[in-house]
Structure 1
Amino acid sequence: MIQALNQLVDYIEGHLSEEIDIDVVAVSLGMTEYHLRRMFSALAGLPLSEYVRRRRMTVAATDVLGEDGLLAISVRYGYGSTEAFNRAFRSVHGVGPGHIRRNGGPLHTQPQLRFHLTVEGNTTMKTRIVDRPAFRLAGHSVRVPLIHHGPNPHIQAHIASLPVEEHARLKDLSGTDPKGLLQVSADVDPDYKEGSDLTYLHGVVVTETATVPEELDVIKVPAGTWAVFHAEGAYPEVLQSTWAATATDWFPSNPWRLRPGPSMVAILDRTADFSEATCELWLPIERS
């Protein structure tokens, strides 16, 4: 994993003035684009697309300080107009290329990344691998922005809007593992960009043949393998740190990779105020 990410960074560096097809690069590295983007984002702390844009504008700044015309520089870096190039340049450096050309700065540069694996061995992740037949997720869904740290107020508001008796009705529909009410995230941006929209579903797992009330939203999930991570502690921080640890610790040292599909959180136990919880994080995986 670490070697593949460094090869990706090297490839990007050699093709900054070209359109980069991440899917082609991923295949050449023996990975999927989905897994590559998710692992890059988790380990680098920024989306892959954002890193490419920052590096491209960092290198472009050197050209801006030269004698070439701005139109020629814009075309060189894949922009069809100086206006589009100016917007991208300003989003990284805070000022337009004309200002940089006149004043020499300020420049906000993005260094080239290099990934390293640090082995500490002081954390044991409680994990099990589960093969599941096809099933469906049934419940109430909403589009919400992705938030990496702390409670998501949009999700909290969605759950609070449901009548108390609806939670009990959903629990009664639960028919197979993972049982009980689940927190489901689907259609997540492959770059895992904070603020990007995802589908959040508050619901349960039902079998393919179970009868589901028409008013409920349904997500069909094909048969596949899941990694189940046990976590307990301050909520939701323990859940967010467990997800981060899957990228930094578990995936780099195990022969599995993420596959497209929803992630599920099952709350096994919690305090009355939900400040602490014991939960399981279900991630769809396949052999790498």
Structure 2
Amino acid sequence: MDWIEKMNTVIIYIEEHITDALNIENIAKVADCSTYHFQRMFIYMTGIPLSEYIRRRRMSLAVADLKKGDMKIIDVALKYGYHSPTAFNRAFQSVHGLSPSSAKLDGALIKAYSPISFKMEIKGAESLDFRIETKESFRVIGVSISLYGDFEGMVEPVEKIWEAAENNGTIHQLKKLLRNDQLGLFEVMIPDENVEHWRYLISVPTEEPLMESLEEYVMGAYTWAIFSYAEKTIEETQNLGKRVISEWLPTSEYENDCGPDISVHAEDGAIGNILEYWVPIKNKNEGDRLW
């Protein structure tokens, strides 16, 4: 099943369980990938986080229930998983711009969000430069933080760890370990297959002894699609990253191998100055990896 089919299957699953306690882990399993990769794919392809899409769908359906006239507001709130009238009112207003009681009135202007349907769109106005490389397992050392919840909520803690690492000398310490043949620091996002949890690691590949205050991570052996971002602005690299996930991967002969992904930074740069982006891949038609 390709990515377009998987995403449409997910939408059907959400619709069938819209009044249940939807869990991102279970939704990602429907798409057969990690929660991190699914959330990233969803927001890149739709422009909104998964949580917001679910909220919009629930509040669109809630309007229909309120208009029937035979359901109390508290009953509608409970139906869609809101045990607090205040929380339901807040969610409802965030979508429709008015309260549930106002929405029941004749002439009230409300919004409707239909289920998303994914279709293939061929763009390709700008090429994506990449190469395929198979690499054996290797070790990186650095500093990390744990990330939880919605993909969009990761931006602030990531910025904070970079700032802290710059201020306390960790970035300088890691750069000293770079070999002449290495481009720069490895920014690694490590998904956990079982929970809504990720480990974000600023690191460098090295066999040097582990230093105090640093930690290590052993990267598994993967086949990587490595995309070149050289000479691109921050805005251009952000756009290319979205294109890799939302355009190239779904239309290629590969699929994500659900391992870590890596952004390689310029040696003299900080966050945003990315030279390469590595995505672990496997062939769609084979259960095994490509090596």
* TM-score, normalised with respect to structure 1: 0.75
Amino acid at match of 1:55: R
The whole-number CA distance in structure 1 between the counterparts of 2:25 and 2:163 is: 37
Amino acid at match of 2:33: T
Asked whether 1:118 is paired with 2:114, we answer no
Which residues of structure 2 form unaligned runs of 5+?
148-152, 285-291
The SS at the match of 2:231 is strand
- Equivalent residue for 2:177? 173
* Residue 243 (structure 1) shift: 0.8
- Equivalent residue for 1:161? 167
Counterparts of 1:1-288 in structure 2 under 5 Å? Answer: 1-20=3-22, 23-24=25-26, 27=29, 31-34=32-35, 35-67=37-69, 68-102=71-105, 105-141=108-144, 146-147=154-155, 154=160, 157-158=163-164, 160-163=166-169, 167=171, 169-174=173-178, 179-186=182-189, 200-207=200-207, 210-267=208-265, 279-288=275-284
The whole-number CA distance in structure 2 between the counterparts of 1:180 and 1:232 is: 11
**8 A Cα contact 2:188 2:202, kept in partner:** no
The change in CA–CA distance for 1:267 and 1:32 in structure 2 (over 3 A counts) is closer
Number of residues of Structure 1 aligned to a counterpart in Structure 2: 272
**8 A Cα contact 1:269 1:277, kept in partner:** no
The change in CA–CA distance for 1:189 and 1:116 in structure 2 (over 3 A counts) is farther
* TM-score, normalised with respect to structure 2: 0.74
The change in CA–CA distance for 1:108 and 1:42 in structure 2 (over 3 A counts) is same
Residue identity over aligned pairs, in percent, reads 28
**8 A Cα contact 1:134 1:224, kept in partner:** yes
The whole-number CA distance in structure 1 between the counterparts of 2:139 and 2:58 is: 43
The whole-number CA distance in structure 2 between the counterparts of 1:171 and 1:21 is: 40
**8 A Cα contact 2:20 2:81, kept in partner:** yes
**8 A Cα contact 2:225 2:280, kept in partner:** yes
The change in CA–CA distance for 1:259 and 1:95 in structure 2 (over 3 A counts) is farther
The whole-number CA distance in structure 1 between the counterparts of 2:199 and 2:176 is: 23
The change in CA–CA distance for 1:277 and 1:72 in structure 2 (over 3 A counts) is closer
* Residue 239 (structure 1) shift: 1.8
* Residue 229 (structure 1) shift: 0.7
The whole-number CA distance in structure 2 between the counterparts of 1:8 and 1:197 is: 20
Q: In the TM superposition, what whole-angstrom CA distance separates every residue of 1:23-66 from its partner, at most 9, and x where no partner exists?
A: 5555555x225343332221001122221121111111121222
Q: In the TM superposition, what whole-angstrom CA distance separates every residue of 1:102-127 from its partner, at most 9, and x where no partner exists?
A: 46534243333222222234333222
The whole-number CA distance in structure 2 between the counterparts of 1:122 and 1:90 is: 39
Q: In the TM superposition, what whole-angstrom CA distance separates every residue of 1:126-176 from its partner, at most 9, and x where no partner exists?
A: 22223333333322445795449xxx864663454254xx65542343469
**8 A Cα contact 2:183 2:267, kept in partner:** no
The whole-number CA distance in structure 1 between the counterparts of 2:197 and 2:183 is: 25
